Structure 1
Amino acid sequence: MMNPWRLRLLSRLDTLGTIRAVAKAANLSPSNVSQQLALLEAETRTQLLERTGRRVRLTPAGLILARRARAILDHMDAVEAELRGLGEEPAGLVRMGAFQSAIHTMSVPAVTRLAREYPRLTVELLQLEPHESMPALRGGDVDIIITTTNFDELPLGPDLDLVPLATDPILLVTPLGHAAAGRGTVDIAAYADEPWAFDMPQSYMANLALRLCRQASFEPRVVCRFSNYLMTLQHVEAGLSIALLPGLAVDRRYRVATRALATPVTRTITAAIRRSGRSTPPRAAVRVVLDALRHNPHPPMPGHD
């Protein structure tokens, strides 16, 4: 008999790529993960792992089992959840991962409404950027994610249900008194010599902003980097920089101006859940959260001052 918990570790190894990453996700030590996978090899009487230098990778048999394991675990979880949820209103814990600007504009309003309508349902919010949320969803660490499907090479497949929620324009954000704080669209090439505020290296917005600047034929002079959009807005408000930000990230409490780009750039905001129901809460609970996100009245986009 194969141990379901060890099968989940093997599946995570296929998704995350390293023993260390699996250990971190499962809150175990790397040696413990290795021991459990060795026991799984003994249970299956099959070599599932092989070493290449200091790394471990799945053998062809390991790859087959890891991918079949997802279907096995999904079916077990779906049956268990269905039995728990028979005849009950949506209840339990649903874990939602969302990127920074979607938390206060989409997640929090939806969760507030759900708390009133379904008191037995708890939604746990986790900040996960797009490159983090898809592996977390597939690995079973969250039950639903809000992510972006433009520009990022997301590994999508038939195991996921995707629901578009909104489109969000990328805007030039400047101090109120800045020369760019006018009306109409703007060509960012005109501001090649400005000081720029960027997100952290290799993040979604840092990569996108750098690509847009280079498409406009200049290398931006980056004077600060923040992982928090509110800190970026504060820096811009103080007149120390300008920035490219998604419309949802521009908090109206900050005295900044926004301009649409002459060549429009938008991102599609999408919710994703596992199609086969591999989650701890009943399927109905996940669907209720998804419906709340779909019908949430998103705030209007910032005006173009």
Structure 2
Amino acid sequence: MFDLHRLRLLRELKHRGTLAAVAAALSYSPSTISQQLSLLEAEVGVRLLEHVGRRVRLTQQAEILVAHTEAVLERLERAETDIATSLTDLTGTLRIASFQSAALALVPTALNLLHAAHPLLRVHLTQMERESAISALLARDFDLIIDVEYPGIPGPRPAEVEQEELCEDTLHLAHPAIGGVADPMEALLSLAKLPWIMEPEGTIARRWSMALCREAGFEPDIRYESTDHFLHLRLAEQGHAAALLPGLAWHGRPPTVPIQPLPRAHHRRRLLTAVRRGGGQHPTIKAARQALLQAAEQLVL
């Protein structure tokens, strides 16, 4: 029988990409990781890694092993769920990753609800953009993440991930110069020559924003880039940049800058919770999802 610990190291290498990344995540030295994988190769009797320059790549046989390891870990996750279900109180640590606006608007209320219902449960929150969160979830750095999808630009949905709808969040065009233009596309065009603030290249929000502006017929002059929606909001409030802001930016309070609706096909983004396959029925996950749903219901989005 193959050593499960070594199989998990091979799986970590697939998800994290380098021996150094695996070593850093698990607090081992790279040489220790390399030694353990060499022992696994001896156990299996075939080559599992091949060198490509300074990196290593999994062989076809290694990919087969990782697929079976995923199945074993999913089964163990279901066993953990069954044990937790048999207990009367929720204990342990729940690790959540969330992007900024959801972390600010939803998580504090959800924490209040969880603490009141399950005082022995410890919650660890990390702010992380969704582009990194899915891979971190699969690498078992987190138990649950808050994910987001923008209109017309769905994010990746790996087969190893279970997603559940959380809420919808209305998106707005924001700038003090907005006014008197009823048509959403005309409102966008009226700000075409102004400076813009958007999220950085490579993010799903940036791809959506660029597609919207191009559909309206212009290439935005992007002078400011940030994942921080507080900065987006502040620059829009003071007229330094036009912005596309989600309703979560105001945490359920009235807008602090003139806003305009977006075209119907672009006006809402979807928030979801995601967990590893097999973990959705864990009592801690179910409690966290319920608390987040209640927190979302208290906001006007």
What is the TM-score of this pair, normalised by structure 2?
0.87
Name 1:172's counterpart in structure 2: 173
Q: Could you report, residue by residue, the CA deviation over 1:72-118 in whole angstroms, capped at 9, with x for unpaired residues?
A: 12323443564466333111111111111111222221111111111
Tell me which protein shows more helix as a share of its residues: 2
| Mapping for residues 186-265 of structure 1, pairs under 5 Å | 186-187=184-185, 188-250=188-250, 252=253, 255-265=256-266
Name 1:270's counterpart in structure 2: 272
For residue 195 of structure 1, report the CA deviation from its aligned partner: 0.8
Instruction: Sort the Cα spacing of 1:219 and 1:284 in 2 relative to 1 into closer, same or farther, 3 A.
Output: same
Instruction: Sort the Cα spacing of 1:204 and 1:138 in 2 relative to 1 into closer, same or farther, 3 A.
Output: same
Name 1:61's counterpart in structure 2: 61
Does the CA-based 8 Å contact 1:210-1:220 persist in structure 2? yes
Q: Structure 2 counterpart of 1:196, which letter?
A: W
Q: Structure 2 counterpart of 1:168, which letter?
A: D
Hey, what's the Cα distance between the residues in 2 that align with 1:109 and 1:259?
Answer: 28
Does the CA-based 8 Å contact 1:170-1:264 persist in structure 2? no
Hey, what's the Cα distance between the residues in 1 that align with 2:19 and 2:204?
Answer: 26
For residue 219 of structure 1, report the CA deviation from its aligned partner: 1.6
Q: Structure 2 counterpart of 1:295, which letter?
A: Q
Instruction: Sort the Cα spacing of 1:217 and 1:16 in 2 relative to 1 into closer, same or farther, 3 A.
Output: farther
For residue 41 of structure 1, report the CA deviation from its aligned partner: 1.6
Mapped pair 1:293 → 2:295: no
Hey, what's the Cα distance between the residues in 1 that align with 2:228 and 2:28?
Answer: 29
Stretches of structure 1 lacking an aligned partner (at least 5 in a row): none
State the percentage of identical aligned residues: 32
Instruction: Sort the Cα spacing of 1:246 and 1:286 in 2 relative to 1 into closer, same or farther, 3 A.
Output: same
Q: Structure 2 counterpart of 1:240, which letter?
A: H
Hey, what's the Cα distance between the residues in 2 that align with 1:74 and 1:12?
Answer: 15
Hey, what's the Cα distance between the residues in 2 that align with 1:183 and 1:167?
Answer: 25
Hey, what's the Cα distance between the residues in 1 that align with 2:101 and 2:24?
Answer: 26
For residue 67 of structure 1, report the CA deviation from its aligned partner: 1.4
For residue 245 of structure 1, report the CA deviation from its aligned partner: 2.0
Q: Structure 2 counterpart of 1:53, which letter?
A: G
What is the TM-score of this pair, normalised by structure 1?
0.86
Name 1:109's counterpart in structure 2: 109
Instruction: Sort the Cα spacing of 1:34 and 1:254 in 2 relative to 1 into closer, same or farther, 3 A.
Output: farther
Q: Structure 2 counterpart of 1:66, which letter?
A: V
Q: Could you report, residue by residue, the CA deviation over 1:207-238 in whole angstroms, capped at 9, with x for unpaired residues?
A: 22122222222221112122211112111112
Instruction: Sort the Cα spacing of 1:171 and 1:29 in 2 relative to 1 into closer, same or farther, 3 A.
Output: farther
Name 2:136's counterpart in structure 1: 136
Does the CA-based 8 Å contact 1:143-1:274 persist in structure 2? yes
The alignment's C-alpha RMSD in Å is: 2.5
Q: Structure 2 counterpart of 1:269, which letter?
A: L
Instruction: Sort the Cα spacing of 1:31 and 1:246 in 2 relative to 1 into closer, same or farther, 3 A.
Output: farther
Stretches of structure 2 lacking an aligned partner (at least 5 in a row): none
Q: Structure 1 counterpart of 2:89, which letter?
A: E
Instruction: Sort the Cα spacing of 1:22 and 1:257 in 2 relative to 1 into closer, same or farther, 3 A.
Output: farther
Hey, what's the Cα distance between the residues in 2 that align with 1:22 and 1:131?
Answer: 19
For residue 29 of structure 1, report the CA deviation from its aligned partner: 4.4
Hey, what's the Cα distance between the residues in 2 that align with 1:183 and 1:216?
Answer: 14
Name 2:42's counterpart in structure 1: 42
Q: Could you report, residue by residue, the CA deviation over 1:128-172 in whole angstroms, capped at 9, with x for unpaired residues?
A: 222111111111111111102341441332x33221111123211
Hey, what's the Cα distance between the residues in 1 that align with 2:29 and 2:212?
Answer: 42
Larger displacement relative to structure 2 (10-19 or 105-114): 10-19
Does the CA-based 8 Å contact 1:162-1:271 persist in structure 2? yes
Hey, what's the Cα distance between the residues in 2 that align with 1:99 and 1:63?
Answer: 31
For residue 270 of structure 1, report the CA deviation from its aligned partner: 0.9
